[in-house]
A and B are shown apart, each in its own frame.
Chain A
Amino acid sequence: MSTATGYNFAYLDEQSKRMIRRAILKGVAIPGYQVPFGGREMPLPHGWGTGGMQVTASVIGEADKLKVIDQGADDTTNAVSIRRFFAHTAGVETTEQTAEATLIQTRHRIPERPLQADQILIYQVPIPEPLRFIEPRESETRKMHALSEYGAMQVKLYEDVARFGHIATSYDYPVMVNNRYMMDPSPIPKFDNPKMSMMPALQLFGAGFEKRIYAVPPFTQVESLDFDDHPFEVQSWDEACAICGSDHSFLDEVITDDNGSKMFVCSDTDYCRERVDQGFVGTAADLSTSEQETEQ
């Protein structure tokens, strides 16, 4: 179907969407396996999430409600552009609320609010091959996946511990999916890795530049690599969110004035807002209230 704008629904032609859906189905059938697909050009430059957009365009329907986040925020240029793009080409409703969304396209975060079985999370992926850093040859990495030869991946963690005394990798932290395929979770913080495991929502990954799609079906085990004597750990903060007081979300450090004063706030802006609506407060409650007042 087409919209008033003259584009095909969600921009991509139906044949391309079918081709991408086939790749998605294959990805779902083989959790963590990278499925090559004939990528299409999207009217945004690579690095803006064209892989994620192609996946979104292929699974979105008229009844969907789309949320787009970038580093946890709904209001960055990237997130706003992608949301507008689909509002325009598919005429779908958009939302900033995780709870309301049926589709969430993300760059670099998984929402703090646990996702549900009727939601789909779509990741934008810059580099889909987790073994690339140690093995530049595609023919060889394919073989390594086929034969589950993942010892080399551990080398990356070894180098971390040798150099820093602990596993310093904090983003893009490699995972094993369903005890079979080594997968790059995209540059989410390792804080989000545990959320991927046994998630009720379907997780789809689109790499536009390298033309790869992969998936983690609902309720699939996802394990982060580690050493017996250096177990996997997520980031933690001594502070709580200055706005909502959350002591369990991923925090961003923000500079609040010219004197370099700083505070920590939830990177997931919707989660933070939701908590404030529920009456939670942080140490900067006065500050944020006064800011809101001046804005209005």
Chain B
Amino acid sequence: MNKVIDAVQSDAGVQQALETALQQEFKEEWKDIAPLLSVRELNKFYAPGKGCGDINFDLYPGEVLGIVGESGSGKSTLLSCLSARLTPDSGNVIYNSERFGEMDLYACEESMRRVLMRSEWGIVHQHARDGLRMNVSAGANIGERLMAVGERHYGDIRAKAEEWLTAVEIDTGRIDDRPSQFSGGMQQRLQIARNLVTHPKLIFMDEPTGGLDVSVQAKLLDLLRNLVSRLGLSVIIVTHDLAVARLLAHRLMVMRRGQVVETGLTDQVLDDPQHPYTQLLVSSILQN
């Protein structure tokens, strides 16, 4: 009997040891993965209820975070604060930069923020005219970021521009045309190519499919989804369209009047919403 107990005990001991070892290994593995972006106690209000507040979250490498909520809920304000374009009233945004290491976006030099914007980050604006230079060719639009980071070989710049036009499904024959000659959907795709050419790690998008026809939207979403998974991009995407969020985001943050009311995995939030406001949002999409 003692033998049996011993055996069981030692078995349990082995089990224990194994588990501890496994956990240790697991921890070792995860220890290396620091959040790409950490947001703490972020506040930015234009007026009570207008802006965003009490924002806390971490974004891990390769994650696609959707920020959803009705119009006026503070999504764009938050995205601007996260992407170093709008100084918050209080709070911190810590970014883990390839080049600069861990940096507090609003405590560092502006020059560093601007380096990020043209190298490690991409920003896709809702209105293409805010994100493109409308008076120079598509090739120059894509090439600009390369030239901004020191590329000085015309042939190489042009070859990369062609490569990225192809990647966003724009005929390379259009390389010397100006964006003003492009359709809305093409302009958005050009904006994406212009951003991706320097291989950014983190992309911020504000309603990238807004204002496009449904069929054009579908094509753009499909392209975005492929690019994001192929390139392993981390993305923060703002949208009021839950269908867009469902298709692209791993995780959702639901905003209402500047506050986050619910967060979770996309399927959980959309299929089993906990907060009454999210339930309302989800049911209104179901009605459509």
Query: Roughly how many angstroms separate A14 CA and B155 CA in the complex, as a whole number?
Result: 55
Interface-side segment among A91-99, A152-160, A171-179, A206-214: A152-160
Indicate if the CB atoms of B139 and A151 lie closer than 8 Å.
Answer: no
Residues facing A in B115-148 (CB within 8 A) are 118, 133, 136-137, 139-140, 143-145, 147-148
Question: What is the predominant secondary structure among interface residues of chain B facing chain A?
Answer: helix
Indicate if the CB atoms of A147 and B143 lie closer than 8 Å.
Answer: no
B154: chain A residues at CB < 8 Å are: 158, 161, 227-230
With both chains docked as a complex, state the minimum distance between the C-beta of A63 and any C-beta of chain B, in angstroms: 46
Indicate if the CB atoms of A159 and B140 lie closer than 8 Å.
Answer: yes
B150: chain A residues at CB < 8 Å are: 151
With A147-B114, A159-B140, A162-B139 known as contacts, the answer to whether A154 contacts B176 (CB < 8 A) is no
Query: Roughly how many angstroms separate A228 CA and B154 CA in the complex, as a whole number?
Result: 7
Q: Is B99 an interface residue (CB 8 A)?
A: no
A159: chain B residues at CB < 8 Å are: 136-137, 140
Indicate if the CB atoms of B149 and A151 lie closer than 8 Å.
Answer: yes
Q: Is A137 an interface residue (CB 8 A)?
A: no
Indicate if the CB atoms of B145 and A147 lie closer than 8 Å.
Answer: no
B147: chain A residues at CB < 8 Å are: 151-152, 154-155, 158
B155: chain A residues at CB < 8 Å are: 229
With both chains docked as a complex, state the minimum distance between the C-beta of B178 and any C-beta of chain A, in angstroms: 10
Residue of chain B at shortest CB distance from A153: B147
B111: chain A residues at CB < 8 Å are: 147
Indicate if the CB atoms of A155 and B143 lie closer than 8 Å.
Answer: yes
Query: Roughly how many angstroms separate A229 CA and B151 CA in the complex, as a whole number?
Result: 11
Query: Roughly how many angstroms separate A38 CA and B9 CA in the complex, as a whole number?
Result: 91
Q: Is B50 an interface residue (CB 8 A)?
A: no
Q: Is B157 an interface residue (CB 8 A)?
A: yes
With A155-B144, A229-B154 known as contacts, the answer to whether A162 contacts B118 (CB < 8 A) is no
Query: Roughly how many angstroms separate A230 CA and B156 CA in the complex, as a whole number?
Result: 12
0/1 per residue, A194-234, Cβ < 8 Å to B? 00000000000000000000000000000000111110000
Query: Roughly how many angstroms separate A162 CA and B150 CA in the complex, as a whole number?
Result: 19
Q: Is A134 an interface residue (CB 8 A)?
A: yes
Indicate if the CB atoms of B158 and A152 lie closer than 8 Å.
Answer: no
Q: Is A149 an interface residue (CB 8 A)?
A: yes
A147: chain B residues at CB < 8 Å are: 110-111, 114
Q: Is B153 an interface residue (CB 8 A)?
A: yes
Indicate if the CB atoms of A162 and B137 lie closer than 8 Å.
Answer: yes
Q: Is B152 an interface residue (CB 8 A)?
A: yes
With both chains docked as a complex, state the minimum distance between the C-beta of B119 and any C-beta of chain A, in angstroms: 11
Query: Roughly how many angstroms separate A161 CA and B156 CA in the complex, as a whole number?
Result: 13
Residue of chain A at shortest CB distance from B146: A151
Indicate if the CB atoms of B144 and A152 lie closer than 8 Å.
Answer: yes
Indicate if the CB atoms of B176 and A163 lie closer than 8 Å.
Answer: yes
With both chains docked as a complex, state the minimum distance between the C-beta of B254 and any C-beta of chain A, in angstroms: 36
With both chains docked as a complex, state the minimum distance between the C-beta of B240 and any C-beta of chain A, in angstroms: 30
Query: Roughly how many angstroms separate A93 CA and B81 CA in the complex, as a whole number?
Result: 63
Indicate if the CB atoms of A158 and B152 lie closer than 8 Å.
Answer: no
Residues facing B in A131-185 (CB within 8 A) are 134, 143, 147, 149, 151-152, 154-155, 158-159, 161-163
Query: Roughly how many angstroms separate A155 CA and B157 CA in the complex, as a whole number?
Result: 11
A154: chain B residues at CB < 8 Å are: 144, 147, 152
Closest 9 CB pairs of A and B: A151-B148, A154-B147, A227-B154, A151-B147, A228-B153, A147-B111, A155-B140, A158-B140, A228-B152
16 further A-B pairs in the complex, CB-CB below 8 A; given A158-B143, A158-B154: A143-B110, A147-B111, A147-B114, A149-B114, A149-B118, A149-B148, A151-B148, A151-B149, A152-B144, A152-B148, A155-B133, A155-B140, A158-B140, A159-B137, A161-B154, A162-B139
Q: Which residues of B are in contact with A by a Cβ distance under 8 Å?
A: 110-111, 114, 118, 133, 136-137, 139-140, 143-145, 147-150, 152-155, 157-158, 175-176
List 14 A-B pairs, Cβ < 8 Å: A151-B150, A152-B147, A154-B144, A155-B136, A158-B139, A158-B143, A158-B154, A159-B140, A162-B140, A162-B158, A227-B152, A227-B154, A228-B154, A229-B155
